[in-house]
Amino acid sequence: MSTPAKIALALLLALMATFTIGVLSGKIWWFSEDPPLMVIPDMDDQFRLKPQGEARFFADNRAQRDPVEGTLPRQGKTYPFGMGDVDSAEKYFAAGNPLPKTEYVLARGQNRFNTFCSPCHNYTGTGDGLVQQKGFGNQVTMNLLREEARAYSDAKIFHVISAGQNIMPAYADRISETDRWAIVHYIRELQQKANGGMVPPTSNGTVSSTQSTTVSKRMQ
């Protein structure tokens, strides 16, 4: 074998070794649009329906069937009021927030608020979240700390989260009832902090006029 051939062979072997080590150690990897190769399929795919899966048996190909009409959830309740039905909601939840305002509940409220509300309302409730800034254009996200919102009853805040308002969609299907009340506690705390530590005017649905005026004076 001539010297150049030897060098070429050595280089080739070195390249192959590097590649093999790279693949085995996970440093080299590549993307594929083809489904993974099944060498020994065993019972990897069994004849059964999976959540959000496909079922050719049904005309619409959905494995997940809609519940029969009138079905009630085993946990919690479906939210009974529509978007505009604030008055009924306020009457129904007149007792106010059923959760105690403990540190644990507030932590949960912060967690759910950051997850579901902060994209638009921002982490502080000021209504300038990143989705609002980059997406909504001339649509306005409400500032949760404004005077009008501070005067809302707990029941009304709960209703707005559950059923939506203006362009805000309803969140009753994604946030549980307990978590929504925890969010209400957390929003109250944000309002209180923004208002210089003053206790929000209400916690049980009624706002006395003297309290509202004090709030507005403080704001000026």
Partner 1 sequence: MFSQRIDRLLKRTILGTGATIAVGAIVLYFGMRNDVTDVGYRPQQPVPFSHKLHVGQLQIHCQYCHAGVEQSAHSPVPTTSVCMGCHIVIKAESPKLQLVRESWEKGIPIQWRRVHKLPDYVHFNHARHIRAQIDCQSCHGNVEIQGVIAQNKPLSMGWCLSCHRNPEEHIIPARPISGIFTGERLPEDFREHLFEPINSNLVKGVAARVRPITSPQYGAWETDIPTPVIAGIPHPKLPGYGPENCSACHY
Which residues are at the interface with partner 1 (CB under 8 A)?
20, 23-24, 26, 29-37, 39, 42-46, 48, 50-52, 54, 60, 62, 76, 99-100, 102-108, 110-111, 114-116, 118-119, 123, 130-131, 134-136, 139, 167, 169, 174-179, 182
CB of residue 216 vs partner 1: minimum separation in angstroms?
30
Of 185, 186, 148, 188, the closest CA to residue 165 belongs to 148
CB of residue 117 vs partner 1: minimum separation in angstroms?
10
Q: Which CB sits closer to partner 1, 74 or 217?
A: 74
CB of residue 140 vs partner 1: minimum separation in angstroms?
11
Residue 168 backbone phi and psi in degrees, to 5: -75, 125
Angle ∠(81,207,200) on CA atoms, nearest 5: 95
CB of residue 163 vs partner 1: minimum separation in angstroms?
13
Q: Which CB sits closer to partner 1, 43 or 68?
A: 43
Q: Which CB sits closer to partner 1, 87 or 173?
A: 173
Cα separation, 113 vs 1, in Å, equals 73
Of 149, 162, 164, the closest CA to residue 200 belongs to 149
Q: Which CB sits closer to partner 1, 82 or 169?
A: 169
Task: Output Rg (C-alpha) for the chain, integer angstroms.
Answer: 29
Q: Which CB sits closer to partner 1, 104 or 208?
A: 104
Q: What are 54's two structure tokens? A: 């496909």
Instruction: Return the exposure string of 68-79: e unless at least 16 CB atoms fall within 10 Å of the residue's CB, then b.
Output: eeeeeeeeeeeb
Cα separation, 133 vs 143, in Å, equals 13
CB of residue 136 vs partner 1: minimum separation in angstroms?
6
